[in-house]
Amino acid sequence: MTATNDIATKIRPASGKLGILTPGLGAVATTFIAGVESIRRGRSKPIGSLTQMATIRLGKRTDNRAPLIKDFVPLSGLDDLVFGAWDPIPDDALTAARKAGVLEDRDIDPIADFLSSIKPMPAVFENRYVTRINGTNVKQGKNKRDLAEQLRQDMRDFKAKHGCDRLVVVWCASTEIFIKPGPTHETLAAFEKAMEANDESIAPSMLYAYAALMEGVPFANGAPNLTVDLPALLQLANDKGLPISGKDFKTGQTWMKTVIAPGLKARMLGLRGWYSTNILGNRDGEVLDDPASFKTKEESKLSVLHTILQPEVYPDLYKDFSHVVRINYYPPRGDNKEGWDNIDIVGWMNYPMQIKVNFLCRDSILAAPIVLDLALFSDFAHRAGMKGIQEWLSFYYKSPMAAAGLQAEHDLFIQQTKLKNTLRHLMGEEQITHLGLEYYR
Ligand SMILES: NC(=O)c1ccc[n+]([C@@H]2O[C@H](COP(=O)([O-])OP(=O)(O)OC[C@H]3O[C@@H](n4cnc5c(N)ncnc54)[C@H](O)[C@@H]3O)[C@@H](O)[C@H]2O)c1
């Protein structure tokens, strides 16, 4: 596709290899890596990935132009991807994938050689931030800054060893305990001082984000931890011209919420309450069984409905609805989560109605294509000269990062429009408003 504006002509090509590094080599990361390799070997299709399967309409409806996104935007091809990870648990990707229990042996066995070649680098890990995991594959250092420097060295070594042209980092590690943003997160100087003082407000995930940005590497955060969502690191990203995004992959129940809630609001139907409960038996579920980690997740899940429904604008419909979210760790289910939603809605003349959703979802199966898209789009954004928070990637997140003072957009359909219009804009195509103005000219 030819570039037709200034930005488009300046986008650096996606040549060479792209290294995708994930802190965390658990269920999500191994399902992602195994999936990409299966697709490369022609054993699978990239179902769930916009970058690989979605089309994008260009121009007027009558133009009949709707290329695949990957043919329209210069993205790295799957054959150019190389994978690396850090994890406190020393299992290689093959062992980790088997333990995660997401994929069946029939899908793992044919790519076992490939998966066993991916061994996690020693992690920056402290048990107090993720209490349910005890790992042995952990870095030692004289302070947190020293640990961050070791991560930077890992990135340089990985890049050299695999001959990568560029890297991206996508956080796929466990959810850390809830941390409130504070003074040590305000400026880069305060952050660096706090790293040297081993301040407890600096969590391991923040060290990975800092290290990536210092190395000129875009960072995407798949968990609800603060991580890169700090004024200090936002400043660093802006100074270094790097895209960042987060937080918390939008899969399962929350994704459903961002589909159903805009539908209720579009029809001006009221909401009395939304009760969500889940059973889940994977390691993520075990980590979330710790109240401190669950609090981080709960904050991420609860904000969604309020921002979509805007009770302050529509008090008659949405004032004081109750919203409850429960996650229960239930080992027999493994990664196959089951979620129940009971939604109490209100219609004409205040008549109550109920919607029940019973979603038997596979969390990591939904998350894996998100990791792929975020890695490819973050790298693309970098080559296109985009920096700071990438709001157009909100589509992929439960708790999207937004610029200070702005409310994040949660409505999946507005997010999708924003994503596609950003791609059109960057490639010098007209944005599509769905106004149908051609009829009035
Ligand atoms: N699966 C989903 O649909 C989904 C959706 C949204 C968010 N997430 C988030 O993605 C993350 C990964 O989920 P998962 O199901 O793969 O969990 P998992 O428990 O299978 O894997 C997480 C891995 O991270 C490792 N880890 C923990 N702390 C680390 C550190 N400091 N450095 C490096 N590695 C570390 C753990 O040892 C573990 O192997 C979780 O935070 C989860 O909340 C998952």
Domains, in order of start, for the chain? 6-249+365-426 (3.40.50.720), 253-362 (3.30.360.10)
Q: Is 178 exposed, middle or buried (0-12, 13-18, 19+ CB in 10 A)?
A: middle
What is the structure's pLDDT at 439?
55
What is the structure's pLDDT at 276?
94
407/371: higher pLDDT? 371
16/331: higher pLDDT? 16
Judge if the beta carbon of residue 124 lies within 6 A of ligand 1: yes
pLDDT band at 290 (very low <50, low <70, confident <90, very high): confident
What is the structure's pLDDT at 301?
74
pLDDT in tens, 95-146: 999 999 999 999 999 999 999 999 999 999 999 999 888 899 999 999 999 9
What is the structure's pLDDT at 440?
53
pTM: 0.94
Whether the pLDDT of residue 1 is over 50: the answer is no
C-alpha 329 – ligand 1 centre gap (Å): 15
Instruction: Quote the CA–CA distance of 202 and 174 in Å, as a whole number.
Output: 16
Whether the pLDDT of residue 263 is over 90: the answer is yes
Judge if the beta carbon of residue 83 lies within 6 A of ligand 1: no
Ligand 1 atom closest to residue 288's alpha carbon, by position in its atom list: 43
Residue type, 157: D
Judge if the beta carbon of residue 283 lies within 6 A of ligand 1: yes
C-alpha 29 – ligand 1 centre gap (Å): 8
The CA angle 393-394-397, to the nearest 5 degrees, is 110
Judge if the beta carbon of residue 130 lies within 6 A of ligand 1: yes
Number of other residues whose CB lies within 10 A of the CB of residue 224: 25
C-alpha 174 – ligand 1 centre gap (Å): 3
Query: Measuring from atom 38 of ligand 1, which residue has the nearest CA?
Result: 26
Query: Measuring from atom 3 of ligand 1, which residue has the nearest CA?
Result: 363
Query: Measuring from atom 31 of ligand 1, which residue has the nearest CA?
Result: 125
pLDDT in tens, 61-103: 889 999 999 999 999 999 999 999 999 999 999 999 999 999 9
Judge if the beta carbon of residue 412 lies within 6 A of ligand 1: no
Whether the pLDDT of residue 281 is over 60: the answer is yes
Tell which residue, 21, 40, 373, 39, has the closest CA to residue 164.
21
- Region 191-206: what's the mean pLDDT? 98
Least confident range of 134-138, 148-152, 436-440:
436-440
- Mean of all residue pLDDT scores within the chain: 93
What is the structure's pLDDT at 111?
98
pLDDT in tens, 14-37: 999 999 999 999 999 999 999 999
- Region 188-214: what's the mean pLDDT? 98
Query: Measuring from atom 9 of ligand 1, which residue has the nearest CA?
Result: 223
Judge if the beta carbon of residue 133 lies within 6 A of ligand 1: yes
- Residue 54 and residue 395 in contact, taking contact as beta carbons nearer than 8 Å: no
Q: Which residues contact 157 (CB under 8 A, 6 or more apart)?
A: none
C-alpha 335 – ligand 1 centre gap (Å): 12
Q: Which of 284, 296, 371, 399 to mutate to test the pocket of ligand 1 (most atoms within 8 A of CB)?
A: 284
C-alpha 423 – ligand 1 centre gap (Å): 29
Ligand 1 atom closest to residue 249's alpha carbon, by position in its atom list: 6
Q: Which residues contact 225 (CB under 8 A, 6 or more apart)?
A: 171, 175, 176, 179, 203, 205, 247, 296
C-alpha 42 – ligand 1 centre gap (Å): 28
Whether the pLDDT of residue 396 is over 60: the answer is yes
Percentage of residues in the chain with pLDDT exceeding 70?
97
Q: Which long-range contacts link 102-105 to residues 24+ away (Cβ below 8 Å)? A: 102/27, 102/30, 102/31, 102/282, 102/334, 102/335, 102/362, 102/364, 102/365, 103/30, 103/31, 103/34
pLDDT in tens, 299-328: 767 788 999 999 999 999 999 999 999 989
Judge if the beta carbon of residue 227 lies within 6 A of ligand 1: no
Query: Measuring from atom 40 of ligand 1, which residue has the nearest CA?
Result: 174
pLDDT band at 334 (very low <50, low <70, confident <90, very high): confident
What is the structure's pLDDT at 2?
44
Judge if the beta carbon of residue 176 lies within 6 A of ligand 1: no
pLDDT band at 437 (very low <50, low <70, confident <90, very high): low
Ligand 1 atom closest to residue 297's alpha carbon, by position in its atom list: 43
C-alpha 52 – ligand 1 centre gap (Å): 24
C-alpha 364 – ligand 1 centre gap (Å): 10
pLDDT band at 5 (very low <50, low <70, confident <90, very high): low
Query: Measuring from atom 2 of ligand 1, which residue has the nearest CA?
Result: 363
What is the structure's pLDDT at 274?
97
Q: Which of 21, 22, 28 to mutate to test the pocket of ligand 1 (most atoms within 8 A of CB)?
A: 28
Judge if the beta carbon of residue 282 lies within 6 A of ligand 1: yes
Whether the pLDDT of residue 3 is over 50: the answer is no
**For 175, which DSSP code?**
P
